[in-house]
Amino acid sequence: MFCDLIRGAAEVSICYEDATAIAFLDIQPVNPGHVLVVPREHYEVLQDIPKAVGAHLYQVATKLIPLVQTASNATDMNIVVNSGAAAGQNVMHYHIHLIPRKEGDGFDVPLPFPGSVMPNRQQLDAMAARIGSMLRDPLQNDGMKLG
């Protein structure tokens, strides 16, 4: 669907565009001013995005946030990425939601999640160690260097 919008095959209300990214108003907004920041090239999920494209999309989002807040008279903002079907992504073209927020608007992203069980420190430490060891394993991280 987003590929069609990017190619101009459907109506879209664009608020920003460049060679890499396009930003337009969501047709089913949480609140007025709900913007989607989308790469022009098709990538399904966050893990597919090249680092330079991901950084550029984030720069576009941070440039738009104060403008969207002013235009929509919002005091706050949710920046949401649903990456994959299990995470709630229903359009399989990576995108960033910029959702302007006002007190009492009725939208909620409850964190901590009310249904979660608080793990003990040993469980937290074990998961942290597992992730950390994967970062240090060249076969797991494709040579990614952090820090």
In a domain, 118, yes or no: no
In a domain, 104, yes or no: yes
Give the pLDDT confidence of 17-49 residue by residue, as tens digits: 999 999 999 999 999 999 999 999 999 999 999
The pTM for the full model equals: 0.85
Please count the structural domains in the chain.
Answer: 1
In a domain, 56, yes or no: yes
**CA 105, CA 43: separation in Å to the nearest integer?**
32
Q: What is the C-alpha end-to-end distance of the chain, expressed in Å?
A: 37
In a domain, 120, yes or no: no
CATH number at residue 29: 3.30.428.10
Q: Provide the residue range defining the domain that includes 30.
A: 2-109
- What's the token pair of residue 92? 């399989």
Residue 122 phi, psi dihedral angles, 5° rounding: -65, -40
Give the pLDDT confidence of 128-142 residue by residue, as tens digits: 999 999 988 877 655
In a domain, 79, yes or no: yes
In a domain, 137, yes or no: no
In a domain, 14, yes or no: yes
**CA 42, CA 95: separation in Å to the nearest integer?**
10
In a domain, 13, yes or no: yes
Task: Return the sign of the alpha-carbon dihedral for residues 90, 91, 95, 101.
Answer: negative
In this predicted structure, what is the pLDDT of residue 50?
A: 96
Task: Please identify every residue annotated as catalytic.
Answer: 95
Give the pLDDT confidence of 71-101 residue by residue, as tens digits: 999 999 999 999 999 988 898 889 999 999 9
